[in-house]
Structure formats: C-alpha cells, structure tokens
Amino acid sequence: PGERTALKDRIRRLLKERNAVMVSHYYVHPDLQDLAEETGGLVSDSLEMARFGRDHAAQTLVVSGVRFMGETAKILSPEKRVLMPDLDATCSLDLGCPVDEFSAFCDAHPDRTVVVYANTSAAVKARADWLVTSSCALDIVRALKDKGHKILWAPDKHLGNYIQRETGADMVFWRGACIVHDEFKAFELEALKKEHPQARVLVHPESPADVIALADAVGSTSAILNAAREFDAREFIVATDNGMMHKLRTLNPGKVFYEAPTAGNSATCKSCAHCPWMAMNGLAGLAHVLETGANEVQIDPALGQRAKVPIDRMLAFTA
C-alpha cells in the first residue's frame, strides 16, 4: 500500500508538471479512475472520453483505456501529445477487423452506408461513413434508416444484431465479438435471477442476444450507470466488464451489485468478465510515461484526417 500511495503522489505531481490531463474508461483499475477524477480529468464511456479529450485545453492527454481510445483522442487533436500507460492494450473487436478484409467487404456492398463501431483501428475508421459508440449507435442507425439508408455494420455482431432488432434497419454484418461480453451466459443468468428475484438486470449490448433478452436496461457503460441510479431497486445483476463495479458501488452506496455469470467461470473462460487489455493499464506504467514521454500515440496525419470525418459526424450528431 505504501508503494501505491507513493506512485499516486508521483502521478499527481507529474500530471501538474507536464500540464497533462487524464481520461480513464470505467473498465480500468479503480486507482486510475479515481486519479483521473481527482486531478480534473474524466472517467467515462468511450464517447465522452473522446469529447472531453478534444475539448480540454491541456496539450498532453493521458488515456487510460485501450488503444482505439488513445487513437481517437489523437485523431481528434493531432496537435496534442497523447500518451497511454500501455500501447499494446488492444481490443478483440479491433484485432478481428483487419483493414484489408474490411475494405473488401465494403467494396462488395457499394450501395451501403458504412457504420463502424469506435472499437476499431484508425484505418478502418477512415473507410467508414459514420462512427458510433454503444451510447449513440441506436439513434444514429435509426436516423440513417429513416433517411432510407441501407447499412454495412462492423465489427461487433451482437451490438449490430441488437440494433437491427430494435430499428428494423436493413443491415449486413461483420462478425466480430468482444471476448468479455461474449462470455455472458443466459442459462446461468436466469438461475441467478431466480436467486435474486427483485434484482434488475443491466446489460451492455456487446452481450449475446439471449442475455440481452433478459435485461431490464440495455446500454453503454454510462447508460448502465444511469439505470442503476434511476431504477427504484436495491439489487442489480450487471452484464459488463467488472471494472464497472467500482463506479456502480461508489455512486450507489445503498445498492447491491452482482456480476452476471460467464461460462461457469471455468478454466476455459477467456476473460471472466474483465478485459485483459484494460487490465494492462497500471500505476507504474502511467508514472513511467509521464516521466519519460514514452508510449506516445502516433497516427499518420493523412490517415487521421480521413478517420476524423466519421468521428466528427458522430460528435456533431450527439452534441
């Protein structure tokens, strides 16, 4: 504990010295969430992280999360220095959507509007008409459908299928998945619901359809947080990365939160409800990058300009 306190003090001092501000995602370690908030930064979902980074005056942004979040920050503010505790922190959705294959998929459907989830590389974003996160995907696809667009969706199949069920839009899908949310199991969730019949079920839409079908609220990490606050209930079952529990519990002290079951939490479970890439963010790495300027996110400027177009559209739509 002494070492942790010393590291946190060092980070606070370095953030000030370097004129840096930190944004953290809800899935990173509680220490990194708290530090971001305490020092004038933000802990939030991927959409608000992007907006905050773009609008903040600091010339150095520290992004605690996964690679696509750091890249989005850099694309939106190419003049700023964007640092990450670990540049190898990626995402199974990004890994599962290589740009060459994705471009070929787009070429095969020239009549479709390309809508891409934020959890992708800069090159994939550069090929998209629209970017979305889980907090605005439904509204954006609904608006496109109302204007007569047919959609090409990538990469998360569960989120895409959920949006199609909700909007009835004409969509073709890339078949990617999040290794964390893909593990939630409906059969075990039903059993847990029986043990806690008063509990409300909160589900991130990267989860499989049969898990979503059991939800009282479906939405992004911030939507889950709002639902927990607004529901007049004492118990909740939560199907998202368990990094989320920190904010849920601190903001709702009188309420009880249970983790939704994954694949029996067996040895075969790849993630057990915590993203291995989010877990790569730590205090030591953070202190090191602030000290040395290491781990700066770099994006080719021409590519960044093209990738910025669909991101700007999303931010204007949600403003």
Residues at the contact surface with ligand SF4, assessed by CB under 6 A: 66, 91-93, 119, 178-180, 206, 241, 275, 277-278
From the list 24, 46, 113, 120, which residue makes contact with ligand 13P (rule: CB under 6 A)? 46
Task: Check residue 221 for interaction with ligand 13P (CB under 6 A).
Answer: yes
3 state DSSP class of 227:
helix
3 state DSSP class of 7:
helix
From the list 23, 123, 178, 311, which residue makes contact with ligand 13P (rule: CB under 6 A)? 178
Q: Which does 262 bind (CB under 5 to 8 A by kind): ligand 13P, ligand SF4, none?
A: none
Structure token digits, residue 197? 């019949």
Instruction: List Cα–Cα distances, 1 to 8, 247, 278, 279, 288, in angstroms.
Output: 11, 21, 22, 19, 19
What distance lies between CA 244 and its chain's CA centroid? 11
Question: Is the CB of 47 or the CB of 273 nearer to ligand 13P?
Answer: 47
Task: Check residue 119 for interaction with ligand 13P (CB under 6 A).
Answer: yes
Distance CA 178, CA 97 (A): 12
Instruction: Assess contact for 26 and 48: CB atoms under 8 A.
Output: no
Q: Which does 24 bind (CB under 5 to 8 A by kind): ligand SF4, ligand 13P, none?
A: none
Q: In the bound complex, what is the minimum distance in angstroms from residue 312's beta carbon to ligand 13P?
A: 18
3 state DSSP class of 40:
coil
- For the chain, how far is it from start to end, CA to CA, in angstroms? 41
Q: In the bound complex, what is the minimum distance in angstroms from residue 46's beta carbon to ligand 13P?
A: 4
Tell me, what amino acid is at 304?
G
| Beta carbons within 8 Å of 312's beta carbon, 6+ residues apart | none
Q: In the bound complex, what is the minimum distance in angstroms from residue 204's beta carbon to ligand 13P?
A: 6
Q: Which does 220 bind (CB under 5 to 8 A by kind): ligand SF4, ligand 13P, none?
A: ligand 13P
């989010």: which residue's tokens?
278
Q: Which does 92 bind (CB under 5 to 8 A by kind): ligand 13P, ligand SF4, none?
A: ligand SF4
Question: Is the CB of 45 or the CB of 86 nearer to ligand 13P?
Answer: 45
Task: Check residue 64 for interaction with ligand 13P (CB under 6 A).
Answer: no
Question: Is the CB of 152 or the CB of 179 nearer to ligand SF4?
Answer: 179
Task: Check residue 220 for interaction with ligand 13P (CB under 6 A).
Answer: yes
Question: Is the CB of 189 or the CB of 280 nearer to ligand SF4?
Answer: 280
Q: Which does 133 bind (CB under 5 to 8 A by kind): ligand SF4, ligand 13P, none?
A: ligand 13P
Task: Check residue 133 for interaction with ligand 13P (CB under 6 A).
Answer: yes
Task: Check residue 207 for interaction with ligand 13P (CB under 6 A).
Answer: no
Q: Given strand 151-154, what is the order of strands in its sheet?
A: 130-132, 113-117, 151-154, 171-173
281: left (phi over 0), alpha (psi -120 to 50) or beta: beta
From the list 206, 242, 246, 314, which residue makes contact with ligand 13P (rule: CB under 6 A)? 206
Task: Check residue 33 for interaction with ligand 13P (CB under 6 A).
Answer: no
Task: Check residue 134 for interaction with ligand 13P (CB under 6 A).
Answer: yes
Task: Check residue 182 for interaction with ligand 13P (CB under 6 A).
Answer: no
Length of the chain measured in residues:
319
Q: In the bound complex, what is the minimum distance in angstroms from residue 13's beta carbon to ligand 13P?
A: 29
273: left (phi over 0), alpha (psi -120 to 50) or beta: left
Buried b (16+ CB within 10 A) or exposed e, 69-96: bbbbbbbbbeebbbbbbbbebbbbbbeb
Give the helix/strand (H/E) hosting 144.
Answer: helix 137-146
The site for ligand 13P (CB under 6 A) is made up of 45-47, 119, 133-135, 178, 206, 220-221
